Amino acid sequence: MLQTLVVNVLALIVTLGILVTIHEFGHFWVARKCGVKVLRFSIGFGKAVKTWVGKDGTEYVIAPIPLGGYVKMLGQDDTNAEAGSQVSEDEKHMAFNYKPLWQRFAIVAAGPIANFLLAIFVFWVINVAYGTRGISPVISHVEPDSPAWEAGLREGDEITAVDGKPVSLWQQVNLKLLDRLGESGNLMITAIPAQSRQGAVSATDNQSTETFAVAIQNWMGNTTEPNPLGSLGIVQYEIPPVIDTIVPGGRAEAGGLQSGDTVVSANGTDIRSWSHWVSMIQQSPELPLDVVVQRESELVALEIVPQATEAADATQMGRIGAGVQIYDLYNSLPAERRREVSFNPLSAIGPAMVETWDKSVFVLDSIKKMVIGLISVKNINGPITIAQVAGETASYGLEVYLGFLAILSISLGVLNLLPIPVLDGGHLLYYIIEAIIRRPVPERVQAMGLQLGLLIVGSIMVLALYNDVSRLM
């Protein structure tokens, strides 16, 4: 427990430290290029851990709380340069608010842009170092009477597009489905029916496709852990129901389940996969399950009563305290189901830019849906959740952690561009208004906007922290 906490805290400090440094360096670098005198470059909040003055005259500060930072520039506090300033005449050419409007705009926009550039760079590194690897989206199972079943999708169908957008890997299918989070209407899923796939002589044959309309209603709007395929009744692939870890004192141990057992059936129903087994457990809180497992060469009958736990949506679901055995799904599949794409340094640039754009649009769309009520505000995460995810992704390996870092950098960039006073986007809004009316926004309006912005940002931070604590309880 202590070790996990230490790892999470260190991961949080490193992750936010990187993002904040890149963001503030964007402001700093463009300000210097525009001839603005930078008084202080601070990373983190709280009492300074280290302070020094560079040869450029800038005071550099490192503080222990990595939840933000700032670049203080000469003349930046003058909300209206025309109304007078404490900046001396011989330094006005180096003062922020005496620079042309386009330069002030560029300096403020440079922070979020730096975050987007970091994401592009990280995705480029992932593409060059690891390439893209995944599994073709061939449906392993469709739950009877589920939305996908009602629409006509069946086992063996291969999904080729979601809402008209081509997909070739399961992870792409998931991302396209998440674009419809909280919405109502029809999901248009295009697939090659199993019969057509089986009748093809080779993978290059022209195989006929069909488009299926899957009905959705306020789709997963209230969930904090969306499972788009599962909610449609689609099973991506089957992982054998082999037990690995047993939680001491849990219902699995009490029922006699052991590591290495393969679950054969529950209440007379054959268990086809780990996800099927988990589904039965979740649907049976405090209800006895007559389970048959294969233990080495014999079948063993057990009775397991899943413990009732409360899900995020306040519904009851069962848990037994058991984990699945690690299974190399990718290498166990036939070659035609495995898909790999490698990139050279040049060819990796385009996909990195496209992925950054797509995820930026997704973050912005998700924010819009939260504002209008299509998605629960419980999805807003704070530093505790970020620390947990950062720690987990770091333990999964460099590729996974880098992907998380890129997504977080995109989120930071998008959030800072929102037109809320105190954020970069609020300042950019003032500059746009200034360009239209040909004079700075009145100080009184800016002061009112500052108070409103602080209220909005403060409320969001409190809500995020509340969500974090709620998840821990």
Q: Which candidate in 24, 59, 158, 340 is catalytic?
A: 24
- Please give the Cα distance from 141 to 266 (Å, whole number): 18
C-alpha to C-alpha distances, 219 to 179, 184, 232, 461, nearest whole angstrom: 11, 6, 10, 26
3 state DSSP class of 38: strand
Question: Which pair of structure tokens corresponds to residue 392?
Answer: 């987990």
User: Per-residue DSSP letters for 418-452?
Assistant: SS-TTSHHHHHHHHHHHHHHTSPPPHHHHHHHHHH
User: How far does Cα 9 stand from its chain's mean position?
Assistant: 19
Task: Please confirm, yes or no, whether 24 is among the known catalytic residues.
Answer: yes
- The HSE-up count of residue 227 (CA atoms within 13 Å, CB side) is 8
- CA torsion, ordered 436, 441, 445, 449, to nearest 10 deg: 80
Q: Where are the beta strands (DSSP E) in 32-131?
A: 38-45, 50-53, 59-62, 65-73
Tokens 């189901």 label which residue?
Answer: 337
φ, ψ for residue 387, nearest 5 deg = -65, -45
Q: Are 322 and 250 a contacting pair, CB within 8 Å? A: yes
φ, ψ for residue 462, nearest 5 deg = -65, -45
- Please give the Cα distance from 444 to 437 (Å, whole number): 16
Q: Are 404 and 390 a contacting pair, CB within 8 Å? A: yes
Supply angle C-alpha 192, 197, 201, rounded to 5: 140
Tell me the catalytic residues.
Answer: 24
